[in-house]
């Protein structure tokens, strides 16, 4: 009963006032060639709505998803998708340690403030999005990246509220940019073991 009352209380709080969703802006996105393939560096700009800040401060984790696609346009057929990747970032607050945590996969970082955690969340660095084994045709490709709050991973009461409350929605449109002939990207310098007699 207490759990049901808590959920009803949260729903009432979330529906108390109408709000506006702050859109995520993709400020910069670029690909770089490295030994393993192509990595993406991207900068995002946004602020959590007051509701989302309150939700995470009360122990409900927020999941952010970054999507990347690399495609070749074809006028005579469907576009050719060379690569598609997804990155999930989990933002949470732990009351005992009074720290915010940002995690992806097995990697986890702790921060004293929400602002510090968000500063790192907004900067994607060295994300391997295209493996070295991917082959390209001699043509230009279109890269696209976006970030959004994944409301499907919120607890059920919040998922229902997200359907009607813009304060629980946060996303960006696709940021698209042209990659000129990926075949022509400078090849990374490969390291090798020195041969016998070399220094």
The span from the CA of 23 to the CA of 26, in Å, is 10
Choice among 15-19, 89-93, 148-152, 174-178 with the minimum mean pLDDT: 15-19
- Counting the structural domains of the chain, the total is 1
Q: Residue 60: how many CA atoms within 13 Å on its side-chain side?
A: 18
Query: In this structure, is residue 70 part of a structural domain?
Result: yes
Q: How many CB atoms lie within 10 A of CB 52?
A: 22
Helix-strand-coil percent breakdown of the chain, rounded to 5? 25, 40, 35
Strand-pairing partners, residue 110, are 101
User: Domain for residue 1, yes or no?
Assistant: no
Query: Within a domain: residue 83?
Result: yes
Residue 113 domain flag: yes
For residue 103, the enclosing domain spans 23-183
Alpha-carbon gap, residue 114 to 59, rounded angstroms: 13
pLDDT: is 118 or 156 the higher one?
A: 118
Residue 1 has pLDDT above 90, yes or no: no
Instruction: State mean pLDDT over 132-142.
Output: 82
Residue 87 lies in a domain: yes
pLDDT digits (tens, 9 = 90+) for 43-77: 999 999 888 999 999 999 999 999 999 998 776 66
**pLDDT for res 106:** 86
Cα gap 15→158, rounded to integer Å:
11
Q: How far is CA 124 from CA 79, 119, 199, in A?
A: 26, 10, 38
Convert the pLDDT of each residue in 174-185 to its tens digit.
Answer: 999 988 766 655
* Residue 16: band (very low, low, confident or very high) from pLDDT cuts 50, 70, 90: very low
How many residues are present in the chain? Answer: 199
Are 117 and 100 contacting, i.e. CB atoms less than 8 angstroms apart? yes
Query: Helix H segments across the chain?
Result: 2-14, 50-57, 114-121, 156-162
> Is residue 11 pLDDT above 60, yes or no?
no
Alpha carbon distance, N-terminus to C-terminus of the chain: 74
Q: Band of the pLDDT at 103, cuts 50, 70, 90?
A: very high
- pTM for the predicted model, two decimal places: 0.76
Q: Is 179 part of any domain?
A: yes
For the record, the structure tokens of 30 come out as: 């670029």
Structural domain contains residue 7: no
- Whether residue 104 is contained in a domain is answered as yes
Higher pLDDT, residue 51 or 168? 51
């Amino acid at each position: 009963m207490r759990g049901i009352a808590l959920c009803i209380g949260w729903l009432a709080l979330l529906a108390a006032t109408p709000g506006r969703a702050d859109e995520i802006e993709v400020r910069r996105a670029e690909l770089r060639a490295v030994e393993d393939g192509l990595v993406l560096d991207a900068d995002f700009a946004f602020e959590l709505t007051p509701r989302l800040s309150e939700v995470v401060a009360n122990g409900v984790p927020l999941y952010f998803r970054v999507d990347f696609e690399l495609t070749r346009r074809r006028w005579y057929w469907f576009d050719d998708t060379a690569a598609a990747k997804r990155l999930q970032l989990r933002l949470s607050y732990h009351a005992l340690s009074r720290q915010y945590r940002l995690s992806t996969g097995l990697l986890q970082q702790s921060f004293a403030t929400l602002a510090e955690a968000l500063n790192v969340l907004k900067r994607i660095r060295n994300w391997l999005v295209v493996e070295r084994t991917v082959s390209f045709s001699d043509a230009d490709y279109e890269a696209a990246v976006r970030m959004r709050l994944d409301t499907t991973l919120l607890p059920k009461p919040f998922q229902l509220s997200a359907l009607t409350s813009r304060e629980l929605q946060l996303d960006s449109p696709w940021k698209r940019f042209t990659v000129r002939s990926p075949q022509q990207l400078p090849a990374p310098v490969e390291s090798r073991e020195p041969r016998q007699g070399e220094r």
